[in-house]
Structure 1
Amino acid sequence: MALLWRRLKLVVMVTMVNLFIFIIISRQSSQDKNGHHKVHIPSKPFWTKLVPNIAYWNRQQQILDIQNNPILVSNYSGAEIPEWLNDTSLTSDPCQPNFRVTTQVKDYNSLPGRFKDFLIYMHCRSYPIMVDHPDICKEPPFLLLAVKSLAPHFDRRQAIRQSWGRAGVIANRTVVTIFLLGNATAGDHHPDLSEMLHYENFRHKDIIQWDYRDSFFNLTVKEVLFLEWIQTRCPGARFIFKGDDDVFVNTYRILDFLKGLSEPKARDLFVGDVITNAGPHRDKKVKYFIPESMYTGTYPPYAGGGGYLYSGDIAARLHNVSQHVALYPIDDVYTGMCFRKLGLAPEKHKGFRTFNIEEKYRSNPCAYKSLMLVHPRTPQEMIQIWAWLSSPDLNCQ
């Protein structure tokens, strides 16, 4: 009898709950029929009118973002597209100087020459290759060492070849070394060293050179050309180190580090001396000065350009995304911008010392054993440190 009574109570309870739900739904349906609480679909786009950024780089990036966003593009008919969005200078080919920029940057005439040169050719991404070695990665290397250099820096390149940039097999891993050069022009008061460079390349077969002005602001051009070169000449490289020709790199430590990575970690690897919460320098006396008319905002996290290490998979992704990021005159910041565009962030590693180590440790061989990179170092110091690390008698316990 008690069991029957409990079942009856359960049936009544379920019935009451269903009746309550039915009443609520009926009331909402009645309200909809009377025109209350209906969802209204807007007849016009919900986004605000696009306004061009006052800073030239930011505005060029706006244009790229909109041109590559089918939703935003479809929101405008051909007649409604604002004039500033029709700027096609970003993709002009062949590369010609864009003199329209002289009226698009408010203080253009008062900017230093290096800014004027960068702005006029900012849209240029393709330059002829003058020296190449198509078969240098015929056997895909485990590690590709790509060193940014200038034509006159013969002593730095030779010191690297004799020390940390020795090509061949190191610690049972294939290593390939290349030097990335532009054109040292007479306009920058460089002597004509083309014959010496020709002999150097004939002797070592490790120079990659493009026909563009090799200046500080054009290091970003060197970056995008190198990313393109990897995809055509060395797509099988497992890992890439890219750095300057005035750093010491502990190749032994890098190879040891890479061998210990898991597969997912190795695939997404990008490590270096990461700088965060930085922004453009506004002091005209600073090498990295950027005027407000050129860029506003903060910088994304980026690895210092002295040197960083990343995977071949990341190199391919950087190459693809770089085509959607406007060139910026500081190459390591630009790489950080590309990384942000990928939705990724570089990883800081304490083994990268782009701002040197304490002076009291600089002559201690063991101070370099656990490091991957130290900046700066002279050619003589590179050879000395490499000799220390290569010595079988080195004991750092």
Structure 2
Amino acid sequence: MARAWRQSKNRIVKNVFCFGCLFIVPLLVLAVVVYSKSKSAEALSLPVEFSSTKTDGLLQKLFYLIVLIMSDPTKSATRKAIRETWLSNNHEDVKHLFVVGSKGLAQDVLQNILEENSSHHDMVILDSINESYNSLTGKILAGFQWLHANHNFSFLLKCDDDSFVRMSPLIEELHKQPQNHLYWGFFKGGSSVFQKGKWKENDWFLCDTYLPYALGGGYVLSSDLVEFIAINALLLQQYKSEDVSVGVWLSPLKIHRVHDVRFDTEFKSRGCYNEYLITHKQSANEMREKHANLTKTGKLCQSELRVRYSYNYNWTVLPSKCCKNFDPELP
């Protein structure tokens, strides 16, 4: 009798447990699904940011500014002049790098740049890039990708090896600029698209003129914009002019475009003004002369000189009308 009662009791407990499972297990599954969906919704609602955290190897050091200088493998004398002039004053949180392409180089030229880099440790040698005008945009893109993958930094100054930069004033002014989403330089808008010669744009179809862009003798990008370009590199159309290409790549973005007349970065220098932060189209001798002037007198120019007029970019009108008001009062 007692045995029969215990068996009956066990059957009742088992049935109650199973009956409970029919309700409890689905409720637990439902709770997990709801929680998972809520976490997914929470993740999707977060704002998308360009920046990422880099923690290994070289990436541990944060540089405030990296100066990326586009150079030709054969121009070792020019690089020497730059190191001895406007790069000669060291800034602890600034790093400079000369970018050269090595694809198809003669063996002696390749050996020379390898030895130069062994001595100075300041060159990025891109073995996928050959040096020609047609490869300039690819070189910029590869340089941005390499930089994003290998260094942690706040800002990038891109310039050419025929540009003279006043580093200390530029860094001082950079601290006054927006610290995110910054595109700072001398902007041009409404320029006619080249239809012939080495500048001919075979792939251009966007509009009748170029989009606004900062001229390539020197411009500054915050790291978030460099990252945006680097991670989207495979999707970006490359045009003949690297500065035009950068302007196109950044054109849809809501960023700070800062036009600055102290960037003398056009295809031809506008002259010499003590206010200039960057002066384009300078020979090695002209760099040495400007550096000597700064060392002796604290001024860039022995005497200020105007060759061409400047303008303030008018952001309130279409690009075709942006840059017509040349102002003799501007440097």
TM bucket (normalised to shorter chain) is 0.5 to 0.7
The 10-residue stretch of structure 1 (272-281 or 313-322) with the greater mean CA deviation from structure 2: 313-322
The amino acid of 2:204's aligned partner reads Y
Aligned to 1:256: 172
Distance 2:226 2:75 in 1: 26
User: Which of 112, 133, 150 matches 1:216?
Assistant: 133
1:295 aligns with 2:204: yes
- Can you list the C-alpha shifts for 1:63-113, whole angstroms capped at 9, x where unaligned? xxxxxxxxxxxxxxxxxxxxxxxxxxxxxxxxxxxxxxxxxxxxxxxxxxx
Q: Does 1:372 align with 2:277?
A: yes
Q: 1:184 to 1:228 in 2, by over 3 A?
A: closer
Question: Are the counterparts in 2 of residues 273 and 354 from structure 1 also a CA contact under 8 Å?
Answer: yes
The answer to whether the 8 Å contact 1:161/1:167 transfers is no
Match of 1:87 in 2: none
Q: Deviations over 1:4-51 (max 9, x none)?
A: xxxxxxxxxxxxxxxxxxxxxxxxxxxxxxxxxxxxxxxxxxxxxxxx
Q: What TM-score do you get using the length of structure 1 for normalisation?
A: 0.56
Is 1:152 matched with 2:74? yes
Contact 2:101 2:131 in 1 (8 A): yes
Tell me if 1:233 matches 2:150.
yes
Q: How big is the shift at 1:159?
A: 1.0
Tell me the C-alpha RMSD between the 2 structures. Answer: 2.5
- Against the structure 1 CA distance between its residues 393 and 329, is the aligned structure 2 distance closer, same or farther, given a 3 Å change threshold? closer
Whether contact under 8 Å (1:151, 1:197) holds in the other structure is: yes
Output the CA distance in 1 between the equivalents of 2:89 and 2:110.
24
Alignment of 1:195-214 (within 5 A): 195-211=111-127, 212-214=129-131
Separation (CA, whole Å) in 1 of partners of 2:254 and 2:230? 15
Contact 2:137 2:245 in 1 (8 A): yes
1:184 Cα deviation from its structure 2 partner: 5.8
* Residue type at the aligned position of 2:176: G
Gapped regions of structure 1 (runs ≥ 5): 1-133
For these two proteins, the number of residue pairs brought into alignment is: 242
1:202 aligned partner, one-letter code: S
Structure 1 residue 183 corresponds to structure 2 residue 102: yes
1:81 matched residue in structure 2: none
1:245 alignment counterpart: 161
Q: Is the 8 A contact 2:193 2:210 kept in 1?
A: yes
User: 1: CA distance between counterparts of 2:133 and 2:193?
Assistant: 16
2:238 is the counterpart of 1:319 = no
Q: Structure 2 length as normaliser, TM-score? A: 0.66
- CA separation of 1:279/1:343 partners in 2, compared to 1, >3 Å: closer, same or farther? farther
1:354 is the counterpart of 2:265? yes
Q: CA offsets, 1:119-164, max 9 Å, x none?
A: xxxxxxxxxxxxxxx9666532211110001100111111111122
From the superposition, tell whether residues 329 and 232 of structure 1 become closer, same or farther in structure 2 (CA, over 3 Å): same
Q: 1:310 to 1:295 in 2, by over 3 A?
A: closer
Letter paired with 1:177: H
**Cα distance, 1:207 vs structure 2:** 0.9
For the Cα contact (< 8 Å) 1:268–1:313, is it kept in 2? yes
Distance 2:252 2:232 in 1: 7
How far has the Cα of 1:394 moved from its partner? 5.2
In the alignment, which residue of structure 1 is the partner of 2:45?
none
* 1: CA distance, partners of 2:200 / 2:259: 25
Among all aligned residue pairs of Structure 1 and Structure 2, give the percentage whose two residues are the same amino acid. Answer: 24
Q: Structure 2 CA distance, aligned partners of 1:347 and 1:136?
A: 31
The CA distance in 2 between the partners of 1:338 and 1:319, in whole Å, is 11
- Distance change (3 Å), C-alpha of 1:228 and 1:339: same
For 1:353 and 1:241, the matched residues in 2 are separated by 14
Q: Which amino acid aligns with 1:280?
A: V
1:276 and 1:386 mapped to 2: Cα distance?
32
**3-state SS of 2:224 partner:** helix
Q: Matched residues in 1 for 2:277 and 2:116: separation?
A: 28
Equivalents in 2 of 1:374, 1:184: separation in Å? 30
Letter in 2 for 1:288: W
- Does the CA-based 8 Å contact 1:144-1:241 persist in structure 2? yes
1:385 to 276, 286, 290: 290
User: Structure 2: which 5+ residue stretches go unaligned?
Assistant: 1-55, 302-331
Which whole-Å deviations, capped at 9, do the CAs of 1:247-274 have from their partners, x for residues lacking one? Answer: 111112211102223xxx1112111111
